[in-house]
Amino acid sequence: MSVDTPVRPDPEAGDRPSLTVTTPNARRRALISRIMSGALFLAVMAAVTPLAILLWQTLSNGWGPFSWEFLTTIEPLSYRETGGGYLHGIVGTLYMTGVAALISVPLGLAAAVYLTERPKGRYASIVRFFTDVMTGVPSVFVGLAVYALLVSGSGGLGLGFGTLAGAASLAIIMLPIVVRSSEEMLRLVPGDLKQAAYGLGARQWQATFKVTLPAAAPGLTTGVILAVARGAGETAPLILTALGAREVVLRLTGAPQADIGLLMLDGFRQPFEGGIERAWAGGFTLILITLGLSIIARMIARRSQI
């Protein structure tokens, strides 16, 4: 027998198979693994391609008109005119999103704590049901409901179009995201931490506020920032609640509020080049805002894993 010839194991002698010997089953598993890896790669490319096309179109068309003037001036009265910017839309978007965060974040965290601490409570199933339903409701229906309750004078409070009505619609959209993400983060906190707090004589509310919430703080922050990014990119409910404005509005009620998405909608609906360029720059600005919030969320999540 040649020295270079591999020696086959003898099962009767109790020898184990050599790792250098490739069996038919191993070759078949390797082939299936390569096929599945290729299929997964094609699926990922099919999902990423539309996003890449969207980003490329927005960046290529919005980078040119995007400038410091665009960020610090308001839109001219005529869509025919070039120049100008979306300062009023940026202020309105940040204003309404901030007010919506002040409404939705405390309520969402409170609901998540209740679902975590009382998973079989009297109202736990009801809260979960409505949270799941709100997640799938189209945003335009949220705007219609807020219009009927806050904006309209017949049957509603009659507050009119404005910042508060727009923020309320965004808060309803952000609330289920905060609840679901916060609940998952709170469930990841080891139960031993709470048991140790109970062993030291802490009450339930003390263990929740001094142990559970601080331990889950990075994950909770990530979920909140992602919800805020989702609210900042909404436009449909603001058509029925904020309405839009052509100036910087700082009032909470009594005056329509501007928004980047609403200004983009008006800009793309007319045929003039000046308005269309500003709309592309507005889309680029909105992508920067949401991308910045998403990057902050990823950085906080990464720090929580260290």
pLDDT digits (tens, 9 = 90+) for 25-80: 888 888 999 999 999 999 999 999 998 999 999 999 999 999 999 999 999 988 88
Binned at pLDDT 50, 70 and 90, residue 94 comes out as very high
* Residue 31 Cα distances to 17, 19, 21, angstroms: 21, 18, 17
Please tell me the least confidently modeled range out of 141-145, 154-158, 227-231, 259-263: 154-158
61-83 burial, b for 16+ CB within 10 Å, e for fewer?
Answer: bbeebbeeebeeebbbeebeeee
Is-contact 260 282, C-beta < 8 A? Answer: yes
Spatial CB neighbours of 105, under 8 Å, sequence gap ≥ 6? 174, 178, 224, 227
pLDDT of 3 reads 47
Binned at pLDDT 50, 70 and 90, residue 146 comes out as very high
- Is 90 exceeded by the pLDDT of residue 111? yes
Return the percentage of the chain with pLDDT > 70, whole number.
91
- Is 90 exceeded by the pLDDT of residue 22? no
- How long is the chain? 306
- Is 90 exceeded by the pLDDT of residue 136? no
Is the pTM for the entire model greater than 0.75? yes
Binned at pLDDT 50, 70 and 90, residue 84 comes out as very high
Mean of per-residue pLDDT scores for the chain: 88
Binned at pLDDT 50, 70 and 90, residue 1 comes out as very low
Element (H, E) at 64: none
d(CA 276, CA 282) in angstroms, rounded, equals: 10
Q: What is the mean pLDDT of residues 278-303?
A: 85
Q: What is the mean pLDDT of residues 268-276?
A: 92
Nearest CA to 260 out of 192, 178, 176, 170 is that of: 170
Q: Which two tokens stand for residue 232?
A: 């900042």
Nearest CA to 238 out of 155, 150, 142 is that of: 142
Is-contact 114 212, C-beta < 8 A? Answer: no
- Whose tokens are 């990119």? That residue is 233
